[in-house]
Structure 1
Amino acid sequence: MDGKTADPQIVAAVRRAVAVFEAAGAQVEVVEPYLSRDYLTTGFIPFFTAHLWAQMNDENIVDELANANQEMVAAVSSIGSLSSLELMRAYDSIGPFVQETVDMLGRYDAVLSPTSGILAGPAESPMISEFAGSANFTSAFNAAGTPAASINCGFSKDGRPIGLQIAADRRHDLTVLQVAAWYEAHRGPTATPRWSSLD
């Protein structure tokens, strides 16, 4: 969504998932870039980062900042260099960002995309630097408050899971759940986790 490139293995897995829907008779269209400007870097990310920094400095949420992940603290605290004018501009951009997202979702029954543009890292890693250069497929729906689900649609060459994000317009939560349930039942063994192999 932000014009950056997703990992080729993720793109391939999502395309295979889309093919499952097409084979069942779904009419599939490519969603062209729909945002009129870069709301993520100029609006949503600064606004979200400021919100996160405020939470990290709330002792009811984080009782001791020194004990928090310092890589995360350093990344989030940088928001302090923004002026109040820049923060208000970021806040003001959220409305158009949300409206353009809702308008796009309203044109389709459901929208399929990767959940993330990068492959999963170690469980203990916040993956801050990795996310900074990746395609972002969840922020728009998070900001818009629209329903979305992530379901496994394949694996990387080294076995890491790849998520298919299924999103729909506001108040279409049931659609998201029905599409996810249908795909789960039809995705085939190469996209299905082998739960028995987990510890």
Structure 2
Amino acid sequence: MLDAAVFREIALSNPHNRRLLEGLAELALPQCHLTAGCLFQTLWNVLSGRPPHENIKDYDVFYFDGGDLSWEAEDALIRRVTPLAERLGLPVEVKNQARVHLWYRQRFGADYPQLHSVRDGISRYLVRCTCVGIDVATGGVFAPDGFADLAAGILRINPVIPQPGKWQTKAESYRARWPWLRIVEEGDQFA
């Protein structure tokens, strides 16, 4: 059965995740988490018998700094992570979760609430089972919806951010890379 310890072990079987976590720890970004596809897609790769790092488009780093919501402050932290990303040869995206509400509507066409922590941001991924992160400082795994759907490859809409069109597109893109995944519509009781 998949639990936090097993998930972390599998996520770190991707050497890119392991090296990125090590490098991020040295930078000490506030509330820093490695999150999103680089973690759950590593699991799906392992379950599919593929190399752990295959088909991972980017590596997401979330941090939370509510003290300065300017783009300049976020850009300064992005520039601190850039040499690490370049040294590892990884496409890394860094986002201050304290300021997502400032740009989300312009980029995605929908409102977004002001968040109060990195975990608030991780909890808002479109596909429910993909809400996972590893705390860089503690190594702890955050998975508000647990691991059952993630391990079973069940893709459900996240009721915290109900955007059916965007969810469907995201779920289909995952299933195109991992065909064994199952998309479960709201109200479907099979899983």
- Scaled by the length of structure 2, the TM-score of the pair is 0.31
Q: Which has the higher contact order (CA 8 A, sep 6+)?
A: 1
TM-score by length of 1: 0.30
User: Rg larger in 1 or in 2?
Assistant: 1
More helix by share: 1
